[in-house]
Amino acid sequence: MEVQVHRSTILAAPHAHPLEEEVPLTIFDLFASNINIAVLFAFTAPTPSDTEIIEGLSKTLVHFPLLTAQLDYSRLRRRRPCLVVGGKGGGALVVEATVAADLSDLLPLEPSADFLLLHPPTEETHHLFQVQLNRFRCGGLVVAAVTHHRVADGQSMSTFFVAWGESIRGTPITSLPVYDQSWIKPRSPPKCEFQHWDLEFVRVPPYRNGSPSNHQDEDPSKITNILLRYSSEFITTKLKPRTRGKYTTFETVLAHLWRKITMARGLDDRRHTAIRVTVNGRPRMRPPVPNEFVGNLVLNAYPESNVRLLLQGGPERAAKIIHDAVRRIDESYFQSIIDFGAMHGDDDLVPVYDTGGVVLSPNLEVDSWLRFRFQEVDFGGGGKLCAFLPTWVPIEGLVIFVPGLEQDGGLNVVVTLLKEHAEKLRQISHCLM
């Protein structure tokens, strides 16, 4: 795929914003992985001009100034790392590019390393939010955005993208962001009711050259990304009867995939396998935190099983393990880590995400974007959102649930595995045995 970059622009931080100059990272921001997340939105023609899209972005950033901030770990004036809004070197990077192909040549979008050409680099970046507008020969458009995870989680970014589309279309923003952190308040005195060391954070030597000292290097060429599609009919008539309809769609499909990925990896029966499942804290807090809260408010649940029991126990047992683990991450668990943050948040905390290398086997990391609003993103102009995917990910063992844009109510799942295991998974992904 031939991509030609024509110009780059830095949109400065808005002059008028509701935040202080320095915004300390919360314990949930510190828990988020220290990486950039890239996603792709593909729109059919006709679409607004680049000028209209960039003007809409400028208007939207007034309400989302953290995306133009800078991460400051220097601690020269404070103890906890923070986001600096309005400082020199901030702003959002916008790249305009053209692609010498028709968008239809790529549809339906399947994971590809070529996607890396459609967005700015995700390593050693100077901006917390970057976007590349890719104009195809047919008039189609792929908007590829890169956001640093410690600024915002998936719920926050889906709110942003919907608002950006509304600004482009000239309509009022229906869901304005919320920055009130009064929900993230420790008790007095703080009290940790759960063990958070080695689950959320680990004690390891300081970073070296921006990476944890125990990071494992692997050859990215051994890892591939695949997309699995599960229709609503398949889920309803094939998968849910195997769990007697007792579990959510997410729990049911994940139970099925956990077993199939374990089979595809060929794991020994005596091994242990676990999942890090992201859990959105907004609906679990009391009172609930609005979906429009911008930042990070996510923790992990940890379903686990012996491989032999996982495979022999069937999908209903796997779904129950997932359900019970997720249910345990409740209001009291979130409050406990808020108190942990009050007790340890000024230490050099390293999240578990940053210590495991790029091959997670025999374990998995699972993120669900099903309840976010990505499928509602509409840039106007008459074109329609025809595809939405995360970009190519060079990590083995990542599973991302993505809302399907088809009208049948199904879902898509991006899975990253070693190539030989990915090929096996393709063969058995819909097998009910």
DSSP letters of 340-392?
A: HHHHHTTS--EEGGGGS-SB-TT-EEEEE-TTSSGGG----TT--EEEEEE--
Of 130, 176, 140, 153, the residue nearest 41 (C-alpha): 140
DSSP state of 118: G
Pairing of strands 92-99, 129-136: parallel
Of 367, 365, 362, the residue nearest 411 (C-alpha): 367
Of 95, 116, 120, the residue nearest 5 (C-alpha): 95
Paired strand residues for 229: 412
**Which one is catalytic: 149, 256, 344, 421?**
149
**Which one is catalytic: 148, 256, 378, 421?**
378
Indicate if 149 belongs to the active site: yes
Between CA 23 and CA 67 the distance in angstroms is 12
The CB density around residue 80, as the number of other CB atoms within 10 Å, is 18
CA dist 160 to 152, 176, 281, 293, Å? 10, 9, 18, 11
The CB density around residue 116, as the number of other CB atoms within 10 Å, is 16
Q: Which two tokens stand for residue 267?
A: 């794991």
Between CA 160 and CA 171 the distance in angstroms is 14
Indicate if 6 belongs to the active site: no
Contact present, 322 and 254 (Cβ < 8 Å)? yes
Between CA 364 and CA 266 the distance in angstroms is 14
- Residues labelled as active-site residues: 149, 378
